[in-house]
């Protein structure tokens, strides 16, 4: 009996001893397991972050005793989620194949270009989401995550976002011009100003040594164009060179050489010879019919209220006074007061005319030799190549000095207002009863955005 009691007592003492040993040893085992788990995760992060040269000290900091203030489950969940987020971001950043977004295949049609824009915007949204995660990690986990490496992530993301923004800008540029075609994996531009505009955008990407589709200017075999071919001026006009323009499709505006016997101070009809040569030695020689005449009272008088970006056309009343409002147009005057104030007399221009910056305007009428009424600019002398972003600025300051109008309004002035119309430009309030029209806006996503919605041309898709 005594022997049996001794055995039972020994078993009980053994159980108690093992229990005490477990109580003291178990936390060390748990922490050792957690430390091994963390070490494995950190090594995976270090492999992914090699381009950022994560220091040994910052990695070891992840294993510092401070982080063990969490309970085992809380620690495991927090570290696992945060480290996996970092690993996923690194994987995505290192596998972005964005250089091929400007490949020939992705640029050779409007459909492909628009699809590429969709893909770029989707990637941008994903990157912005990653950037937000990085910032959240900095805010929420400052106690044990290395903020220096997270900031490196953010810089990397910002760099890629800048590149993608330039890609979008290039594709938008190509969507808004017809002055190029793609052949043998090269974008060949047909006009110099368009080519220079493209190269200006491309500078940023070329400086980053990215592999981008090559571009060049087409061989020039087209002579410059002289405009207009028939010109009405009033006695006392100062300079014929400010009125006649010689435009080359590739070089833009080139010098006009004017000769002939004419006198701007004497009423009469004159024949003027205009010659021009472009950089490719293409030559043109044209005769221009010049009509110098007296200023006369016309059917209309126009006011441009500059600070209101509004044009008001007045007609004659029964007393031969300009009091009858005939038309009111929303316009865009010059940025920062670049449209001069004062009283001027118009000269009719032409259906198309060259503008500052190598672009074109429809239905221009000269207010001064350098300030015109004209449509919103076009990238080229083509009605489906409108600068639609500028069109959406009608009603506010936007030009370099000219008075921009919708095409239908510019055409009305061109068709109905003879040379010599008096124009007064000033700042002030709209006259009582005059309401400024609200301009039509173009949807940036519309396939017709290259057309002015008001253009009465029968080919205008907005009219169908």
Q: Provide the residue ranges of all domains of the chain, joining segments of one domain with +.
A: 7-175, 180-217, 223-294, 298-463
Residues written for the chain: 464
Determine the Cα angle at 334 with ends 329 and 340, to 5°.
95
Report the pLDDT averaged over residues 282-308: 89
Query: What percentage of the chain has pLDDT greater than the value 70?
Result: 70
- Burial class of residue 386 in the structure, from the number of CB atoms within 10 Å of its CB (0-12 exposed, 13-18 middle, 19+ buried): buried
User: Residue 55 has what pLDDT?
Assistant: 36
**H/E element holding 123?**
helix 110-140
Residues 99 and 208 sit within 8 Å (Cβ to Cβ): no
User: Residue 122 has what pLDDT?
Assistant: 76
By mean pLDDT, which of 106-110, 219-223, 445-449 is the weakest? 106-110
Q: How confident is the model at residue 147 (pLDDT cuts 50, 70, 90)?
A: low
Residues 130 and 92 sit within 8 Å (Cβ to Cβ): yes
- 30 has pLDDT over 90: no
Fold of 298-463: L,D-transpeptidase catalytic domain-like (2.40.440)
By mean pLDDT, which of 252-256, 420-424, 439-443 is the weakest? 252-256
Residues 86 and 154 sit within 8 Å (Cβ to Cβ): no
CATH class of 223-294: mainly beta
Beta-carbon neighbour count of residue 304 at 10 Å? 24
User: Residue 51 has what pLDDT?
Assistant: 39
Mean pLDDT, the chain, rounded, equals 76
User: Residue 229 has what pLDDT?
Assistant: 80
- 353 has pLDDT over 80: yes
Q: pTM, whole model, 2 decimals?
A: 0.48
Please tell me which of 53-57, 291-295, 330-334, 416-420 the model is most confident about, judged by mean pLDDT.
330-334
Query: What percentage of the chain has pLDDT greater than the value 90?
Result: 32
User: Residue 299 has what pLDDT?
Assistant: 93
Report the pLDDT averaged over residues 205-215: 67
Residues 386 and 452 sit within 8 Å (Cβ to Cβ): yes
What whole-number distance in Å separates Cα of residue 325 and Cα of residue 437?
Answer: 14
What whole-number distance in Å separates Cα of residue 18 and Cα of residue 21?
Answer: 5
Report the pLDDT averaged over residues 111-133: 76
> What value does the CA radius of gyration of the chain take, rounded to a whole number of Å?
36
What whole-number distance in Å separates Cα of residue 268 and Cα of residue 270?
Answer: 6
Beta-carbon neighbour count of residue 162 at 10 Å? 13
């Amino acid at each position: 009996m005594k022997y049996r009691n001794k055995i039972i007592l020994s078993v009980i003492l053994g159980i108690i001893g093992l229990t005490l040993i477990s109580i003291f040893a178990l936390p060390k085992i748990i922490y050792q397991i957690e430390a091994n788990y963390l070490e494995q995760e950190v090594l995976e992060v270090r492999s992914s972050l090699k381009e950022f040269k994560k220091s040994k000290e910052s990695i070891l900091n992840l294993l510092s005793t401070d982080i063990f203030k969490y309970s085992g489950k809380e620690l495991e969940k927090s570290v696992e989620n945060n480290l996996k987020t970092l690993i996923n971001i690194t994987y995505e950043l290192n596998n972005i194949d964005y250089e091929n977004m400007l490949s020939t295949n992705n640029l050779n049609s409007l459909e492909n270009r628009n699809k590429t824009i969709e893909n770029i915007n989707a990637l941008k949204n994903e990157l912005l989401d990653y950037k937000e995660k990085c910032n959240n990690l900095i805010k929420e986990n400052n106690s044990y995550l290395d903020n220096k490496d997270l900031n490196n992530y953010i810089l990397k993301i910002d760099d890629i976002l800048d590149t993608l923004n330039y890609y979008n800008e290039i594709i938008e540029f190509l969507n808004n011009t017809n002055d190029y075609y793609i052949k043998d994996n090269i974008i060949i531009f047909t006009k110099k100003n368009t080519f220079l505009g493209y190269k200006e955008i491309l500078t940023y990407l070329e400086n980053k040594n990215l592999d981008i589709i090559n571009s060049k200017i087409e061989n020039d075999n087209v002579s410059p164009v002289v405009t207009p071919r028939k010109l009405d001026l009033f006695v006392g006009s100062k300079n014929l060179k400010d009125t006649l323009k010689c435009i080359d499709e590739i070089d833009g505006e080139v010098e006009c050489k004017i000769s002939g016997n004419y006198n701007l101070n004497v009423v009469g009809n004159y024949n003027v010879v205009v010659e021009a040569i472009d950089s490719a030695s293409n030559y043109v020689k044209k005769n221009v019919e010049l009509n110098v005449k007296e200023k006369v009272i016309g059917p209309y008088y126009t006011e441009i209220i500059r600070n209101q970006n509004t044009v008001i056309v007045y007609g004659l009343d029964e007393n031969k006074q300009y009091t009858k409002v005939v038309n009111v147009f929303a316009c865009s005057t010059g940025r920062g007061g670049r449209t001069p104030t004062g009283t001027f007399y118009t000269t009719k221009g032409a259906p198309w005319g060259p503008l500052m910056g190598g672009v074109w305007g429809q239905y221009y009428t000269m207010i001064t030799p350098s300030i015109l009424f004209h449509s919103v600019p076009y990238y080229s002398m083509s009605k489906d190549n409108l600068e639609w972003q500028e069109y959406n600025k009608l009603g506010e300051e936007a030009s370099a000095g000219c008075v921009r109008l919708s095409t239908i309004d510019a055409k009305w002035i061109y068709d109905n207002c003879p040379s010599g119309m008096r124009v007064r430009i000033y700042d002030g309030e709209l006259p009582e009863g005059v309401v400024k029209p609200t301009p039509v806006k173009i949807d940036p996503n519309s396939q017709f955005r290259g057309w002015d919605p008001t253009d009465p041309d029968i080919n205008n898709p907005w009219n169908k």
